[in-house]
Amino acid sequence: MSFSPYSMMFFFTMISGTILSVSSTSWILAWIGLELNLMSFIPIISSKTNLLSAEAALKYFLIQALGSAVIIFASTLLEATLNFSLLSISLALLLKMGAAPFHFWFPQVMEGMNWLHGTLLMTIQKMAPMFLISYLTANLFSWTSTSLAAACSALVGAIGGLNQTSLRKILAFSSINHMSWMLFSMLINETSWIIYFILYSLITSSITMLFFSFQAYYFSNIINPQCSSLPKTVSVLALFSLGGLPPFSGFIPKWFIIQEMIYCSFFYTLAILLFSSLITLYFYIRLALSCISLTHSQNKWIYSSISPVSQYKIIFYLLNLSGLLVPSFLFIL
């Protein structure tokens, strides 16, 4: 993504569409905000020189247009059939955010994007649909559809990441798995899922920016013996943090959600989430073992040549490792 005036303009209109959808008082305004967000995001990810990017933009446009059509159709039937309309809107929003069982487009679109565009897709583009779904959880049909989609997303996100060698697809299925945590926390209270979403966005952004600085799109780029030990170690620790392995930063939001679900007696759903998290940690650890076992024979720590690029990498390192300081703070308190 080049930082041209046109790209910055589309980026600000995309943010404006998200804010309009979140703060809207009617479904028509929410639909307008979603369309503004969509029509601003398509030019950002489109590229004339990259066929994969153009294909991803086309797939994303078709899926989002289908979801928007269902929303505008169901919003006109709210007075006649309330429950059916709210259920249709909930399913359309789940489709737009890529939650299972409507996840089929999400890994394919992620595969055709670079890391900067993928970061927007996994963070900002999920904000408006998730806020709109949180407004519908008071309805029984919407609550049921959200809970079923969350359970399905937990299993699909965990199993789909197995035997994947593309880092973009691994993060795509990991995003689907994290959506299950956010959807279940959304059924408890609004504050829990917002905290989880903020921390998830920070951790995901740190990992994608880390891979972007290394230009690593496949796991072979990290396993490569010519790669130094520091990028390998940091990448492995970042993946552990994303998987929620304690005591890294990624475990902190899951810790909050686990306490809330135990307090609300959601034991069976919590068991599904924990089981899916164990599967994600399994393929993270399996990839980590392959990565660490292949090391370069001349590893050196060079402190004399630290470029400005390396300086902002350090911030990303510390973000995923900041969870190690939490037990110290709790001990002091």
Domain boundaries, the chain: 5-332
DSSP collapsed to 3 states, 240-302 = HHHHCCCCCCCHHHHHHHHHHHHHCCCHHHHHHHHHHHHHHHHHHHHHHHHHHHCCCCCCCCC
Distance CA 50, CA 61 (A): 17
Instruction: Note the pLDDT of residue 164.
Output: 85
Q: How far is CA 298 from CA 214, 225, 291, 316, in A?
A: 19, 10, 16, 25
Amino acid 251 reads F
* Mean of pLDDT values over 291-312: 50
Answer whether residue 242 shows pLDDT above 80.
yes
State how far the Cα of 259 lies from the Cα of 262, in Å rounded to an integer. Answer: 5
| Residue 15: partners with Cβ closer than 8 Å, 6 or more residues away | 124
pLDDT for 312 beyond 60: no
pTM of the model: 0.88
Determine which helix (DSSP H) or strand (DSSP E) holds 305, and give its type and residue range.
none
pLDDT in tens, 103-124: 999 999 999 998 999 999 999 9
Q: What is the overall mean pLDDT for the chain?
A: 83
What pLDDT, in 10s, does the model give residues 147-181? 999 999 999 999 998 888 888 999 999 999 999 99
pLDDT of residue 200 exceeding 60, the answer is: yes
| 126 vs 96: CA distance, rounded Å | 8
Angle CA 164–51–214, to nearest 5: 50
User: Residue 328's pLDDT is what?
Assistant: 41
Q: Is the pLDDT of residue 301 over 50?
A: no
Note the pLDDT of residue 228. Answer: 64
pLDDT at residue 309 in the model: 45
On the question of a cis peptide bond just before residue 327, with omega within 30 degrees of 0, the verdict is no
On whether the CB atoms of residues 272 and 150 are closer than 8 A, the answer is: no
Predicted confidence (pLDDT) at residue 322 exceeds the cutoff of 70: no
The distance of Cα 289 from the centroid of its chain, to the nearest Å, equals 24
